[in-house]
Chain A
Amino acid sequence: MAREVLFTMKTSVPAVALWGKKAPSHSITAIMITDDQKTVVTGSQEGQICLWNLSSELKISSKEILFGHTASVTCLAKARDFEKQPYVVSATENGEMCVWNVTSGQCIDSANLPYRHTAICYYHCSFRMTGDGWLLCCGQYQDVVIIDAKTLAVLHTLISFQSSDWISCMCIVHSTRIQEDSLVAVSVTGDLKVWDLSSSVTSIQERQSVYEQESKSLDCTNCQAIRFCTYTERLLLVVLANCWKVYDYCDFSLLCTEFNKSGQCFAGGEVLAAQRLIIWMEDGHSYIYQLLNSGHSKSIYPADGKVLKETVYPHLLCSTYVKENKSFPFVMGFMNERKEPFYKILFSGEASGRITLWHIPDVPVSTLDGSPKEIPIAETWTLQDDFDKHCAMSEGIIDHLCASKDGTESAAVTSSVYVPNLDKLVCGCEDGKIFITLALHAAKARILEDISLLKHTLPSKVLKGHRSSVTCLLYPHSESVRFDPSWLVSAGQDSCVIWWDIFKEEILHQFTLQAGPVVNLLLSPENYRLNGHRIVCCICSDHSVALLHLQERVCLLHARKHLFPVKMIKWHLAENLLIVGCEDDSVYVWEIETGTLERHETDEMAKAILTSCEDSEYLVTDSILPVSQDTQKHKNAGYKSSSTYKRGTVSHNLTHTEKSSAKQTGTSHVQRPFTILPVKTKWNNISFHVLLFDLEKLVELLLSSQLSGLKSSNSFHSYDILKRAKSTAEKRTLMLKRNKTAGSLFPMDGQVKNACEKKVHRDNSAARSLEEIGGNKRHKKMKSSKKIRLQPSGKIDANVTTDTVKLLLSCLLPWGVDKELDNHCVRYLDLFRLQCPVSFGLVSNGNHISLMLPGWNCNHCGVVEEHTPINLFSRKVLDLSDKYITAGQGQIGKKYGLDHNADGIQGSQIVFYLLSRVSLVNRIVTLPLEFTNTIDSPQKLESVRNKGRSSETFSPSFSIFYGELPNYTSGFHFPDPGNVSLVKLISCWRDQSVKIIEVIQAALLAEVQRSMKTLKKTSIGNQPVTMIDNGNSEVQTLAKNEQTEQMAKCIKNIPLPSKCKIYWHILSSQLFLVLKTC
Chain B
Amino acid sequence: MVHSLCRFKEEEFKWLLQEEVHGVLRQLQDILKEASHRFALPVGSTEGPVKQENFMLGTSSADQVKGVLMLQGDALCQAFSNGVVIYDLRLPPVEIRFKVKNWLNQYCSKCPHSAVSVDGSVGDGMYGFEGDINLKIPRNNQLLHFTFREDKQWKLQQIQDARNHVNQAIYLLTNRDVNYQFKTGSEVLKLMDAVMLQLTRARNRLTTPASLTLPEIASSGLTKMFTPALPSDILVNFYINLNKLCLTVYQLHALQPNSTKNFRPTGGSILHNPGAMFECGSQRYEVSHVHKVECVVPWLNDALVFFTVSLQLCQQLKDKISVFSSYD
List residues of chain A with CB under 8 Å of any chain B CB: 25, 27, 45, 72, 93, 114-115, 140-143, 145, 157, 159-166, 188-190, 209, 211, 217, 219, 221-222, 241, 263-265, 282-283, 327-329, 351-352, 468-469, 493, 516-517, 541-543, 563-565, 583-585, 603-604, 683-685
A566 to chain B, nearest CB (A): 12
Residue of B nearest to A162 (CB): B112
A234 to chain B, nearest CB (A): 27
**Residue in contact with A221 in the complex, picked from B43, B120, B189, B201, CB distance below 8 Å:** B43
Is A141 a contact of B177 with CB atoms below 8 Å?
Answer: no
Q: How far is the CA of A114 from the CA of B155 in the complex (A)?
A: 19
Q: How far is the CA of A143 from the CA of B326 in the complex (A)?
A: 45
Is A264 a contact of B175 with CB atoms below 8 Å?
Answer: yes
Q: How far is the CA of A264 from the CA of B193 in the complex (A)?
A: 22
Is B315 a contact of A162 with CB atoms below 8 Å?
Answer: no
**Residue in contact with A329 in the complex, picked from B165, B175, B197, B326, CB distance below 8 Å:** B175
Within 8 A of A (CB), among B297-328: 308, 311-312, 315, 319, 322-323, 325-326, 328
Is A162 a contact of B43 with CB atoms below 8 Å?
Answer: no
Enumerate chain B residues within 8 angstroms of A222, measured Cβ to Cβ. Answer: 171
**Residue in contact with A564 in the complex, picked from B174, B179, B315, CB distance below 8 Å:** B315
Within 8 A of A (CB), among B274-318: 308, 311-312, 315
Is A166 a contact of B200 with CB atoms below 8 Å?
Answer: no
**Residue in contact with A584 in the complex, picked from B183, B189, B311, CB distance below 8 Å:** B311
Is B120 a contact of A157 with CB atoms below 8 Å?
Answer: yes
Is B122 a contact of A143 with CB atoms below 8 Å?
Answer: yes
Is A140 a contact of B43 with CB atoms below 8 Å?
Answer: no
Is A265 a contact of B175 with CB atoms below 8 Å?
Answer: yes
Q: How far is the CA of A211 from the CA of B111 in the complex (A)?
A: 13
Is A328 a contact of B164 with CB atoms below 8 Å?
Answer: no
Is B122 a contact of A188 with CB atoms below 8 Å?
Answer: no
List residues of chain B with CB under 8 Å of any chain A CB: 41-44, 104, 107-108, 112-113, 115, 117, 120, 122-123, 155, 157, 160-161, 164-165, 167-168, 171, 174-177, 179-180, 183, 186-187, 189-190, 193-194, 197, 200-201, 204, 207, 242, 308, 311-312, 315, 319, 322-323, 325-326, 328
Q: How far is the CA of A352 from the CA of B181 in the complex (A)?
A: 14
Is B107 a contact of A162 with CB atoms below 8 Å?
Answer: yes
Is A563 a contact of B315 with CB atoms below 8 Å?
Answer: yes
Given contacts A141-B122, A189-B43, list 7 more A-B pairs with CB under 8 A: A142-B122, A166-B161, A263-B177, A282-B175, A516-B322, A584-B308, A604-B207
Most buried by B among A93, A165, A282, A542: A165
**Residue in contact with B43 in the complex, picked from A217, A351, A583, CB distance below 8 Å:** A217
Is A141 a contact of B167 with CB atoms below 8 Å?
Answer: no
Question: Which 10 A-B pairs have CB atoms at the shortest separation, nearest pair first?
Answer: A161-B115, A141-B122, A161-B112, A683-B186, A141-B123, A282-B175, A159-B117, A166-B164, A142-B122, A603-B207
Residue of A nearest to B311 (CB): A584
**Residue in contact with A684 in the complex, picked from B165, B175, B328, CB distance below 8 Å:** B328
**Residue in contact with B122 in the complex, picked from A157, A328, A583, CB distance below 8 Å:** A157
**Residue in contact with B161 in the complex, picked from A140, A584, A685, CB distance below 8 Å:** A140
Residue of A nearest to B304 (CB): A603
Most buried by A among B122, B311, B319: B122
Is B108 a contact of A162 with CB atoms below 8 Å?
Answer: yes
Enumerate chain A residues within 8 angstroms of B197, measured Cβ to Cβ. Answer: 93
Q: How far is the CA of A145 from the CA of B194 in the complex (A)?
A: 24
Is A140 a contact of B319 with CB atoms below 8 Å?
Answer: no
Most buried by B among A140, A516, A684: A140
A617 to chain B, nearest CB (A): 21
Is B43 a contact of A469 with CB atoms below 8 Å?
Answer: no
Enumerate chain A residues within 8 angstroms of B315, measured Cβ to Cβ. Answer: 563-565, 583-584
Interface of B is mostly: helix
Enumerate chain A residues within 8 angstroms of B325, measured Cβ to Cβ. Answer: 493, 517, 541, 685
Q: How far is the CA of A145 from the CA of B113 in the complex (A)?
A: 20
Most buried by B among A93, A159, A584: A584
Enumerate chain A residues within 8 angstroms of B311, measured Cβ to Cβ. Answer: 564, 584
B152 to chain A, nearest CB (A): 11
Q: How far is the CA of A530 from the CA of B323 in the complex (A)?
A: 33
* A140 in contact with B187 given A157-B120, A541-B322 (CB within 8 Å): no
Q: How far is the CA of A189 from the CA of B311 in the complex (A)?
A: 25
Is A140 a contact of B112 with CB atoms below 8 Å?
Answer: no
Q: How far is the CA of A23 from the CA of B214 in the complex (A)?
A: 52
A643 to chain B, nearest CB (A): 15
Is A188 a contact of B164 with CB atoms below 8 Å?
Answer: yes
**Residue in contact with B164 in the complex, picked from A159, A165, A564, CB distance below 8 Å:** A165
B270 to chain A, nearest CB (A): 10
Q: How far is the CA of A600 from the CA of B42 in the complex (A)?
A: 39
Is A584 a contact of B200 with CB atoms below 8 Å?
Answer: yes
Enumerate chain B residues within 8 angstroms of A585, measured Cβ to Cβ. Answer: 200, 204, 207
Q: How far is the CA of A164 from the CA of B180 in the complex (A)?
A: 36
Enumerate chain B residues within 8 angstroms of A327, measured Cβ to Cβ. Answer: 183, 187
A626 to chain B, nearest CB (A): 22
Q: How far is the CA of A283 from the CA of B319 in the complex (A)?
A: 27
Q: How far is the CA of A140 from the CA of B167 in the complex (A)?
A: 12
Is A351 a contact of B190 with CB atoms below 8 Å?
Answer: yes
Residue of A nearest to B318 (CB): A565
Is B122 a contact of A115 with CB atoms below 8 Å?
Answer: yes
Enumerate chain B residues within 8 angstroms of A543, measured Cβ to Cβ. Answer: 319
Q: How far is the CA of A593 from the CA of B113 in the complex (A)?
A: 65
* A563 in contact with B122 given A166-B164, A684-B186 (CB within 8 Å): no
B169 to chain A, nearest CB (A): 12
Enumerate chain B residues within 8 angstroms of A27, measured Cβ to Cβ. Answer: 190
A87 to chain B, nearest CB (A): 25
Enumerate chain B residues within 8 angstroms of A329, measured Cβ to Cβ. Answer: 175
A147 to chain B, nearest CB (A): 13
Residue of A nearest to B103 (CB): A163
B175 to chain A, nearest CB (A): 5
A263 to chain B, nearest CB (A): 7
A256 to chain B, nearest CB (A): 21
Enumerate chain A residues within 8 angstroms of B323, measured Cβ to Cβ. Answer: 516
* A161 in contact with B167 given A264-B175, A265-B175, A469-B326 (CB within 8 Å): no
Enumerate chain A residues within 8 angstroms of B190, measured Cβ to Cβ. Answer: 27, 45, 351, 683
Residue of B nearest to A543 (CB): B319
Most buried by B among A143, A160, A328: A328
Q: How far is the CA of A74 from the CA of B37 in the complex (A)?
A: 27
Most buried by A among B207, B308, B325: B325
Q: How far is the CA of A1062 from the CA of B242 in the complex (A)?
A: 52
Q: How far is the CA of A329 from the CA of B176 in the complex (A)?
A: 9
A791 to chain B, nearest CB (A): 42
Enumerate chain B residues within 8 angstroms of A25, measured Cβ to Cβ. Answer: 186
**Residue in contact with A468 in the complex, picked from B115, B179, B326, CB distance below 8 Å:** B326
Enumerate chain B residues within 8 angstroms of A351, measured Cβ to Cβ. Answer: 187, 190
Enumerate chain B residues within 8 angstroms of A283, measured Cβ to Cβ. Answer: 175
Enumerate chain A residues within 8 angstroms of B155, measured Cβ to Cβ. Answer: 164
Residue of B nearest to A215 (CB): B112
**Residue in contact with B180 in the complex, picked from A219, A328, A517, CB distance below 8 Å:** A328
Is A328 a contact of B175 with CB atoms below 8 Å?
Answer: yes
Is B165 a contact of A140 with CB atoms below 8 Å?
Answer: yes
* A493 in contact with B326 given A162-B107, A351-B190, A683-B186 (CB within 8 Å): yes
Could you give 10 example pairs across A and B, Cβ below 8 Å? Answer: A25-B186, A27-B190, A141-B123, A188-B167, A209-B117, A329-B175, A493-B325, A541-B322, A583-B200, A683-B190
Q: How far is the CA of A263 from the CA of B178 in the complex (A)?
A: 11
Residue of A nearest to B157 (CB): A142
Enumerate chain A residues within 8 angstroms of B312, measured Cβ to Cβ. Answer: 563
Residue of B nearest to A207 (CB): B119
Enumerate chain B residues within 8 angstroms of A143, measured Cβ to Cβ. Answer: 122
Q: How far is the CA of A27 from the CA of B155 in the complex (A)?
A: 37
Q: How far is the CA of A170 from the CA of B17 in the complex (A)?
A: 37
Residue of A nearest to B307 (CB): A584
Q: How far is the CA of A565 from the CA of B315 in the complex (A)?
A: 8
Q: How far is the CA of A219 from the CA of B112 in the complex (A)?
A: 20
Residue of A nearest to B118 (CB): A142
A209 to chain B, nearest CB (A): 8
